[in-house]
């Protein structure tokens, strides 16, 4: 589902991530988008992002969106948010942690918004 309004982006991510819907997650990214998945690791392009996202979502993490902010300047936008993620570790224990991702989006020719840069850990 495309994001026609910036205010929809966080909810679309939350729904798709919690459903394990990799296709919808990937559709929110531009074809040449980059994700700074970990310090020193950059995923470039939808296929690299899909591969990593598929492996991650196979673990069935659960996402809770706590807060969000949207800053827009013409055709570019900066989105920030705070999430709690729960997942099961190798020993079967539930592990919970918080992330504060930062996203840069660009308005597309069809008036939808797509992610250009994704920094899941925010500025850390």
Q: What is the CATH number of the domain that holds 31?
A: 3.10.450.50
Could you tell me if residue 38 is inside a domain? yes
Q: Do you know the residue count of the chain?
A: 124
pLDDT mean across residues, the chain = 93
Number of CB atoms found within 10 A of residue 88's CB = 13
Asked whether the predicted pLDDT for residue 25 surpasses 60, the reply is: yes
Q: Identify whether the C-beta of residue 99 lies closer than 8 Å to the C-beta of residue 85.
A: yes
Residues 6+ apart with CB under 8 A from 40: none
Tens-digit pLDDT profile for residues 49-75: 999 999 999 999 999 999 899 999 999
Could you tell me if residue 1 is inside a domain? no
Could you tell me if residue 85 is inside a domain? yes
Could you tell me if residue 87 is inside a domain? yes
Q: What is the pTM of this model?
A: 0.91
| Separation CA 120–CA 123 (nearest Å) | 9
Domain count, the chain: 1
| Separation CA 79–CA 16 (nearest Å) | 17
Q: What pairs with residue 102 in β-bridges?
A: 80, 119
User: What number is the average pLDDT over the span 13-18?
Assistant: 96
**Structural domain of residue 113, as residue ranges?**
6-119
Could you tell me if residue 19 is inside a domain? yes
Of 102, 98, 97, 124, nearest to 115 (Cα)?
102
Asked whether the predicted pLDDT for residue 121 surpasses 90, the reply is: no
Provide the H-helix boundaries in the chain. Answer: 6-19, 22-27, 46-57
Residue 39: pLDDT band by 50, 70, 90 thresholds?
A: confident
Q: Which helix (H) or strand (E) segment is 47 a member of?
A: helix 46-57
| Separation CA 61–CA 32 (nearest Å) | 26
Could you tell me if residue 124 is inside a domain? no
Could you tell me if residue 74 is inside a domain? yes
């Amino acid at each position: 589902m495309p994001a026609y309004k910036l205010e929809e982006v966080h909810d679309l991510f939350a729904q798709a991530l919690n459903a394990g819907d990799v296709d919808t997650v990937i559709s929110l990214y531009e074809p040449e988008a980059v994700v700074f998945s970990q310090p020193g690791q950059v995923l470039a392009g939808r296929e690299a992002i899909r591969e990593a996202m598929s492996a991650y979502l196979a673990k069935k993490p659960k996402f809770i969106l706590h807060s969000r902010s949207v800053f827009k300047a013409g055709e570019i936008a900066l989105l920030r948010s705070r999430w709690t993620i729960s997942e099961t570790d190798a020993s079967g224990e539930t592990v919970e942690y918080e992330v504060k991702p930062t996203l840069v989006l660009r308005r597309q020719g069809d008036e939808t918004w797509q992610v250009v840069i994704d920094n899941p850990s925010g500025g850390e």
